Structure 1
Amino acid sequence: MAMTTLKDIYLDQLQDIWSANTQSLQVVTELGRAARDKDLSEALIAGGTGISDGIAAIEQLCADHGIKPNAEHCKGMEGLVTEARAHGLSNDIADADVRDAAIIPQYQRMVHYALAGYGTLVAFANRLGLDGDAAVLQKCLDDTYDGDRRMTQIATTGGVNQDAVA
């Protein structure tokens, strides 16, 4: 698709965030299974549910605009997923507490990519006067921020990082 208007970029970015979400969902599920800490595992499971909800929301927006969500492959998330597997699920991490500490930044890197995508999409939708789209995307953005904050709390006030020190 030729990019000649903000709407063209908006539609391309919808497809990009759909691709990013579909790629991250599998590895977030894997990270959730690998996590030993109960709070961390539950947060990752909730994150997977949030990603699934985001995928469904983006699919609906794409349908509303007459485009297929899978027309774009997000190479940025592809790299983040590769990194999450290499650094969060590596067999080289022998200690479960250390693995839990390693999982958090891998998850948050993927989340931060989603935050940038959703934030941009909200701004574009608002500029284009797509109020319904903006509301849907704002909910996705808010939910993603909530997941990021929860993960930060687990890392800073939970026992994950403390346990990994020992």
Structure 2
Amino acid sequence: MALFGLGMKMNDLKDLYVEQLRGLYSAETQLTEALPKMADAASTPELKQGFTDHLVETQQQIQRLESIFADLGEDPTGRTCKAMQGLVAEGNDMIKEKAVSAVKDAGLIAAGQRVEHYEIAGYGTVRTYAEVLGFGQHADLLAASEQEEKDTDQKLTQLSKQINLEAASA
């Protein structure tokens, strides 16, 4: 008898799918609180805007997850994503750093990209579960969120090229 998270039995892939979705829901919810702080801490206008834009996407991703939970007849709450707690804590540490603006922005980008990579992995996993379980509409919704995370990561990479140069010469 395998146990997962809050002690729920994992009897099949659908049980794991629901718990993984709950983890993503928790992660995205935590991120809605972190992104405005990251935007406030950023000094580069494009980085500020990027964090603000991603907040809107994150809210849409939460709505997609809520739609999936409604379709499954499941509650999205009940699990705390500890990985996102750690990633958010690292971002908060960077926000508090006394650093030259470009250096702080470079650190915020690094924190943001760690979050994006975690989310890309999470969405890719549950998208695959949805496909295997025959939840095609869920897979489409999850693929949209996964692509947004990839796009955000790419935008952060592009921003980092100039900001890292500025940080190097600070």
Task: Please tell me the TM-score bracket, short chain as reference.
Answer: over 0.9
Give the alignment partner of residue 36 of structure 1, picking from 29, 40, 43.
43
Map of 1:72 onto structure 2? 79
Structure 1 unaligned blocks of 5 or more: none
Tell me by how many angstroms 1:111 deviates: 1.1
Q: TM-score scaled to structure 1, two decimals?
A: 0.94
After TM superposition, what 4+ stretches of structure 1 lie above 4 angstroms from structure 2?
none
Q: Percent identity between the aligned chains?
A: 33
Residue number among 43, 50, 53 corresponding to 2:57 in the alignment: 50
SS at match of 2:160: helix
1:162 equivalent to 2:165? Answer yes
Most deviating of 47-56 and 129-138: 47-56
TM-score by structure 2 length? Answer: 0.92
State how many pairs are aligned.
162
Match for 1:134 among 132, 139, 143? 139
Q: Measure, in 2, the Cα distance between the counterparts of 1:89 and 1:125.
A: 37
Gaps of 5+ in 2: 1-7
Q: Report the counterpart of residue 94 of structure 1 in structure 2.
A: 99
Instruction: Give distance in 2, aligned partners of 1:163 and 1:135.
Output: 40
Q: CA RMSD in A?
A: 1.0
1:112 positional shift: 1.0
How far does the alpha carbon of each residue in 1:46-90 deviate from its partner, in whole angstroms, 9 at most, with x for none? 11111111111101111111111112111111111111101x201
* Pair 1:109 & 2:136 matched: no
Match of 1:84 in 2: 91
The SS at the match of 2:74 is coil
2:9 aligned partner: 2
1-structure distance, mates of 2:133, 2:14:
7
Q: SS where residue 56 of structure 2 aligns? A: helix
The CA distance in 1 between the partners of 2:65 and 2:83, in whole Å, is: 18
What is the CA distance between 1:108 and its match in structure 2? 0.8
**Deviation of the 1:94 alpha carbon:** 3.3
